[in-house]
Structure 1
Amino acid sequence: MIVWLNGAHGVGKTTTGALLQELLANARVLDAEKVGETLMDITPGLPWTGNFQDWPPWRPLVVETARHVLDHTGGALVMPMTVLVEEYWREVSSGLAHHGIPVRHFVLHADLDTLRGRIEGDTALGPSSFRPRHLEPYADAARAWLHREAEVVDTTLLTPAEVAARIAEVVRCWEPL
């Protein structure tokens, strides 16, 4: 199975994913951003839009990478990855469903002021111009479709460990069809 952690850049998906991996039996983290980084390395000359998710190969490669990793390892994949374009989410989630891979989709949410504070105070990644630029697109996606398509976990007043524990409890009780 896949536990997909979606949400705004800077909300804590990567941190939560690492903690969640420790709480779920036989779980591994698969960062779909690495698929995008690979495409950036091997496909110079593709028109850059500011987001590798816009490249058509990214979505099926994420599906196939997850499928092959799960075929090899079993267990669960924790995938911390922001996807704000509904069409892209549909392509990835339907591709995984086609292979019979159940997905539990969570959106880690915090209000915009909290997100700005986390981004500005991030000592690991330092200052970022990318993450603040995507706060409004996240808010737009949340209103339009994203919060309807996932289980929303409000992280505003929670530590990453508390968020991971809540998600782990839901996942442990879940029996996919």
Structure 2
Amino acid sequence: MIVWLNGTHGVGKTTTSALVRQQLPDSRVFDAEKVGETLMDITPGLPGTDNFQHWPPWRPLVVETARRVLDYTGGTLVMPMTVLVEAYWREISSGLAQNRIPVRHFVLHADQETLRGRIEGDTVLGPSAFRLKYLEPYAEAARTWLHAEAEVVDTTRLTPAQAASRIAEAVKS
């Protein structure tokens, strides 16, 4: 099984995924961003883009990597990864379904003011223009399709540990 943690940059997916993993027996964290980083390392580079998710190989490579890891290890993959383009989510989720891999899709959500405050006040990564530029695309995806496709966990007033507990309990039930 895959527990996919979606949501905009800065909402707490990475932190929460590590905590979810601790609460789900036989689980591992697989950050699909590493697949994108591998593609970014190709020399000479792939055609220019501002987001590796736009490269057509990224999506099937995420599916194939997850499938291969699960075939090898079994258990659960906890995958923290922002996917805000509906067609990309459909491609990934249908690829996982074709491989008979069940997915629990969660969206970590917080209101815009809270998100902006978290991003601007981040003491580990510091303020990030990259993460701030995704606030509106996230809001648009949330309004038009994303929240209908997932279990929404509003983290506005939750700690990462509380969000992780809610997710883990939902998966276990």
**TM-score, normalised relative to structure 2:** 0.98
Residue 130 of structure 2 corresponds to which residue in structure 1? 130
User: 2: distance between equivalents of 1:44 and 1:108?
Assistant: 36
Residue 153 of structure 1 corresponds to which residue in structure 2? 153
Q: Which structure 1 residue ranges, 5 or more long, are not aligned?
A: none
SS class of match (2:114): helix
User: 1: distance between equivalents of 2:84 and 2:43?
Assistant: 23
Whether 2:35 is the aligned partner of 1:32: answer: no
Structure 2 letter corresponding to 1:65: T
User: Is contact 2:39-2:46 (8 Å) kept?
Assistant: no
Structure 2 letter corresponding to 1:99: N
Structure 1 letter corresponding to 2:150: A
SS class of match (2:41): helix
User: 1: distance between equivalents of 2:40 and 2:27?
Assistant: 27
Residue 119 of structure 1 corresponds to which residue in structure 2? 119
RMSD over equivalenced CA pairs, Å? 0.7
Q: CA deviation at 1:127?
A: 2.2
Residue 79 of structure 2 corresponds to which residue in structure 1? 79
C-alpha distance after superposition, 1:69-106 (max 9, x if no partner): 00000000000000000000000000000000000000
User: Is contact 2:52-2:58 (8 Å) kept?
Assistant: yes
Regions of 4+ moved over 6 Å: none
Identical-pair percentage: 78
Structure 1 letter corresponding to 2:45: G
Number of positions where the alignment pairs a residue of Structure 1 with one of Structure 2: 173
Structure 1 letter corresponding to 2:108: L
Structure 1 letter corresponding to 2:98: H
Whether 2:14 is the aligned partner of 1:5: answer: no
SS class of match (1:42): coil
Structure 2 letter corresponding to 1:6: N
Residue 45 of structure 2 corresponds to which residue in structure 1? 45
C-alpha distance after superposition, 1:116-171 (max 9, x if no partner): 00001111111211000000000000001000000000000000000000000000
